[in-house]
Chain A
Amino acid sequence: MFEAKLQQGVIFKKIVDAIKDLVKSVNIDASTSGLSMQAMDSAHVALVSLKLNENGFKDYRCDRPITLGLSIENLSKILKCAGNDDTITLQTDEEEPSSLKFFFENQQASKISEFSLNLMSLDSESLGIPDTDYSSVIQMSSAEFSRICKELSSISETVEIETSKESVKFSVQGDIGAGSITVKNNQSDKDVDRVDLQIDQPVKLTFALRYLNMFNKAVSLSSTVSLNMSEENPLMVEYKIDDLGSLRFYLAPKISD
């Protein structure tokens, strides 16, 4: 028996919206500790990792671990039927479920929708992501980072991110010319302006902006985003989801030949 009831169903809708351009089908692993999901894009350049802790759910029960293979496109269609204020409940009482039930309830419990989504059996191609002590960590407004990526992607497909003790510099070079945006440490009390840099070792890494622009579809999940980098390592972009868990994106760097 597996049942997970999320009070703010809109969070689940936002998560699916944030990943639907990146991955086509995912395995959600349910266990006693909560839900986790890891999936790569078709080019195996980017990876999304979702962790939702059981204590962030209104009700949560998972008698034994199960894997739920879902088509993101079909999941999206079902979630379109959930209101932003609805609670969302996922449920199955089979051990090897062939489908997953969804219940959407409005606040007054006066409207209850029930859907059943057929499940897929997907071969899990999981990667072992080591816990990394990143040498450069940037916490900043997710809206601001999203804006920087959008603006720079009009000049080049590739951005170089260079950190130093007191600032982070995003640089682009394209056919029309070049540009850079430098953001300094800023302890402002205004969220949108605050920038926290923890730079143990400066890094200079290059990434494809189109993936960063896809990651930034997660801005609605958190007002802040953290960029985690170490030399010769994939970038990890993390959106913490209040009281529930986190949505992380990993992106392999581009290495100048």
Chain B
Amino acid sequence: IELQKKLREFFPKI
């Protein structure tokens, strides 16, 4: 199955 990733795994919080 495909797991939906979250954006913060790719973009750092500022």
The one of A125, A252, A256 that contacts B6, using a Cβ cutoff of 8 Å = A252
Bound: A129/B12 CA distance, A:
8
Given contacts A127-B13, A128-B12, contact A257 B3 (CB under 8 A): yes
The one of A43, A158, A234 that contacts B10, using a Cβ cutoff of 8 Å = A234
The one of A40, A130, A256 that contacts B7, using a Cβ cutoff of 8 Å = A40
CB of A184 closer than 8 Å to a CB of B: no
CB of A8 closer than 8 Å to a CB of B: no
Contacts of A46 in B (CB 8 A): 7
A250 and B2: CB pair below 8 A?
no
A128 and B11: CB pair below 8 A?
yes
Interfacial residues of chain A within 43-62, with CB under 8 A of chain B in the complex: 43-47
Contacts of B10 in A (CB 8 A): 233-234, 252
Q: What count of chain B residues pass the 8 Å CB interface test?
A: 14
Bound: A257/B1 CA distance, A:
6
Contacts of B13 in A (CB 8 A): 125-128
Assign chain A's interface to a size class.
20 to 34
Contacts of B5 in A (CB 8 A): 45, 252-255
CB of A206 closer than 8 Å to a CB of B: yes
Bound: A126/B7 CA distance, A:
11
Given contacts A125-B13, A127-B14, contact A47 B3 (CB under 8 A): no
CB distance from A154 to the nearest CB of B (A): 19
Quick one: closest A residue to B10, CB to CB?
A234
The one of A127, A206, A233, A255 that contacts B12, using a Cβ cutoff of 8 Å = A127
CB of A208 closer than 8 Å to a CB of B: yes
Contacts of A128 in B (CB 8 A): 11-14
Contacts of A125 in B (CB 8 A): 13
Contacts of A254 in B (CB 8 A): 2-5
CB distance from A228 to the nearest CB of B (A): 13
Contacts of B7 in A (CB 8 A): 40, 44-47, 127, 234, 250, 252
B4 and A257: CB pair below 8 A?
no
Quick one: closest A residue to B2, CB to CB?
A254
Chain A to chain B contacts (Cβ below 8 Å), 17 pairs? A40-B7, A44-B7, A45-B4, A126-B13, A127-B7, A233-B10, A234-B7, A250-B7, A250-B11, A252-B9, A253-B5, A254-B5, A256-B2, A256-B3, A257-B1, A257-B2, A257-B3
